[in-house]
């Protein structure tokens, strides 16, 4: 049995190798446990579904009560002319699961289902149908039904992803009450070295090293972290205990570090890459620590201060982090415990790495002790979940606004125009924000006439209370929107399907920062804008 399990795990690692590097085993497990709902069969929704089946989403349900028309076949090359007149949901399900054993090639791990009921019927007769999904995705749904669905899911805190293509334009909107991300994966995060606030174990190890008494080989393999620590202590002795702060002081500090490179009998500097590396790392390694105001704001949130059995794991962990920081003299976050690559011999690097890992373990144990104050936490939080939270707590400093984001409901969006839309229209003559306005016009026209435009620009801008806006928008945009007539270009649908699937995976895995507003793609210029 163990051999079989290992074989299956090995096969899965091979199959999902590249994505496991992005979101790890735990992210993949979340994806495989997820159940998604896809409403309406369009070229865009088909592309989204394909891009979720391939990485291994657990299961999906297709909801569409319509029949395939000639127009559908023309827009969507996943549909055959032979299918005209048949159920959209059934045909698409058959394509992915039954047709020529296609699923065996696409992904046999994924389970699927479909219903031929109309979404309005489900909302009226069986709204509980939508409660079992991690994410609901809609495409080309009329505005009134869309807002009704959004309101239902908003109350249940189930993310709604709205995505469609309209001619050369693509639209994406994530409607989510609250979404908390532990692993935001920032691109340019500084290593957590604590050189300005060294802990006792690091101080003891660094003080045990005497650079002057070292042999040539040892001297050229001292990790840059130790070099910076040594020169930092010397600098502080000469500067009233202060570390180099501004650009001028850091340049002087770099020069002192480079002067530490030994010279041969001819007065020529030896080839000591570790000292050169130390000089290059001064700016990133000597960054003063400051608990960001945004993190303090999160600590003051009622969901953080008043945790209970109903609280999510995120807020329980946030409360533990709050206690950890408040009981720390320097308001430090838990040490991350990882070291960047550096020029060093293996023995020195491993010793240093073990010191940082041991300190990180101490911080995790202390952090866990605050969690144990809640009797209901026992058994609810795994060691791995706690470890991940501590290791990523630093990234809250960078991504808190997006990291812990409370969204805007769809009904709020439709009541009042976003200031960023107006700013986009005013600040740039050819801003892609204009396509947001045009797509809202399409929605309004369809609501009024149950068909696509035509034109409703004046009515929409009057409802926003922005005089002169309709006149400021060129007729070219109106003509292009009317010319499209809600047709989907599969190239645009394919692009939007990739973007939307990526955002759905972010929501499911609670990793990476999702789009927090409206994303508009302009296929005419191959540009995009987020509002």
The DSSP bridge pattern shows strands 59-63 and 179-180 to be: unpaired
Q: Which residues are CB-contacts of 150 (< 8 A; sequence separation ≥ 6)?
A: 160, 175, 409, 410, 411
Q: How far apart are CA 358 and CA 350, in angstroms?
A: 12
Q: How far is CA 333 from CA 4, 289, 395, 476, in A?
A: 42, 10, 10, 54
Q: How far apart are CA 505 and CA 294, in angstroms?
A: 26
Please give the pLDDT value at position 264: 86
> DSSP assignment, residue 129?
G
Q: How far apart are CA 92 and CA 113, in angstroms?
A: 10
Please give the pLDDT value at position 397: 41
Q: Which 3-state string (H, E, C) describes 94-113? A: HHHHCHHHHHHHHCCCCEEE
Model-wide pTM > 0.85: no
Which residue ranges in the chain fall short of pLDDT 50? 100, 102, 104, 397-404, 454-455
Is the distance from CB of 156 to CB of 132 less than 8 angstroms?
Answer: no
Please give the pLDDT value at position 9: 57
pLDDT digits (tens, 9 = 90+) for 15-64: 888 899 999 999 999 999 999 999 999 999 999 999 999 999 999 999 99
- What domains sit in the chain, N to C, each tagged with a CATH number? 11-184+488-530 (3.40.50.720), 200-286 (no CATH), 293-342+352-394 (no CATH), 417-484 (no CATH)
pLDDT digits (tens, 9 = 90+) for 196-247: 999 999 999 999 999 999 999 999 999 999 999 999 999 999 999 999 999 9
Please give the pLDDT value at position 253: 95
Please give the pLDDT value at position 455: 46
Please give the pLDDT value at position 527: 92
Q: How far apart are CA 20 and CA 31, in angstroms?
A: 11
Is the distance from CB of 44 to CB of 499 less than 8 angstroms?
Answer: no
Is the distance from CB of 359 to CB of 473 less than 8 angstroms?
Answer: no
Closest CA to 303 of 321, 292, 316: 316
Is the distance from CB of 85 to CB of 67 less than 8 angstroms?
Answer: yes
Q: Which 3-state string (H, E, C) describes 287-353? A: CCCCCCHHHHHHHCCHHHHCCCCCCCHHHHHHHHHHHHHHCCCCCCCCCCCCCCCCCCCHHHHHHHH
Please give the pLDDT value at position 8: 52
Please give the pLDDT value at position 344: 94
């Amino acid at each position: 049995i163990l051999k079989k399990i290992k074989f299956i795990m090995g096969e899965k690692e091979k199959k999902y190798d590249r994505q496991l590097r992005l979101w790890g085993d735990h992210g993949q497990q979340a994806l495989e446990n997820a159940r998604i709902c896809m409403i309406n069969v369009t070229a865009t929704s088909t592309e989204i579904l394909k891009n979720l089946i391939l990485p291994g989403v657990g299961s999906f349900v297709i909801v569409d009560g319509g029949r395939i028309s000639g127009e559908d076949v023309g827009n969507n090359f996943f549909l055959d002319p032979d299918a005209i007149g048949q159920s959209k949901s059934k045909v698409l399900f058959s394509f992915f699961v039954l047709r020529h054993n296609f699923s065996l090639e696409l992904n046999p791990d994924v389970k699927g289902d479909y219903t031929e009921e109309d979404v309005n019927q489900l909302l009226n007769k069986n709204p509980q149908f939508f409660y079992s999904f991690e994410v609901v995705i809609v495409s080309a749904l009329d505005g009134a039904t869309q807002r009704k669905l959004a309101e239902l899911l908003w109350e249940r805190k189930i993310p709604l992803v709205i995505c469609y293509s309209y001619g050369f334009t693509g639209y994406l909107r994530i409607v989510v009450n609250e979404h908390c991300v532990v692993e935001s994966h920032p691109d340019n995060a500084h290593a957590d070295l604590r050189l300005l606030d060294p802990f006792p174990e690091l101080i003891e190890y660094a003080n045990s090293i005497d650079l002057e008494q070292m042999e040539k080989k040892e001297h050229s393999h001292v990790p840059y972290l130790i070099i910076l620590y040594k020169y930092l202590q010397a600098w502080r002795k000469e500067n009233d205990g202060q570390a180099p702060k501004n650009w001028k002081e850091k340049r002087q500090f770099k020069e002192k570090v480079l002067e530490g490179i030994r010279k041969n009998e001819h007065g020529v500097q030896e080839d000591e890459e570790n000292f050169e590396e130390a000089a290059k790392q001064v700016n990133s390694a000597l960054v003063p620590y400051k608990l960001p105001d945004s993190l303090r704001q999160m600590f003051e949130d009622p969901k953080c201060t008043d945790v209970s059995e109903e609280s999510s794991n995120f807020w329980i962990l946030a409360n533990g982090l709050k206690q950890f920081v408040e009981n720390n003299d320097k308001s430090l976050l838990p040490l991350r415990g990882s070291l960047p690559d550096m020029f060093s011999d293996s023995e020195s690097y491993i010793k240093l790495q073990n010191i940082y890992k041991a300190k990180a373990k101490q911080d995790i144990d202390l952090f866990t002790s605050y969690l144990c104050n809640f009797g209901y936490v026992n058994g609810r939080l795994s060691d791995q979940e706690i470890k991940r939270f501590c290791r990523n707590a630093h990234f809250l400093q960078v991504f808190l606004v997006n990291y812990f984001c409370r969204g805007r409901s769809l009904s709020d969006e439709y009541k009042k125009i976003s200031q960023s839309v107006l700013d986009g229209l005013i600040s740039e003559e050819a801003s892609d924000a204009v396509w947001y306005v045009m797509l809202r016009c399409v929605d309004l026209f369809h609501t009024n006439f149950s068909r696509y435009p035509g034109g409703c620009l004046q009515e929409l801008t009057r409802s926003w209370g922005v005089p002169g806006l309709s006149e400021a928008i060129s007729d070219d945009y109106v003509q292009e929107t009317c010319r499209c007539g809600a047709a989907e270009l599969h190239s645009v649908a394919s692009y939007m399907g990739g973007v939307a699937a990526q955002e759905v995976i972010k929501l499911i895995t609670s990793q990476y920062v999702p789009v927090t507003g409206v994303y508009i793609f302009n296929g005419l210029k191959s540009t995009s804008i987020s509002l």
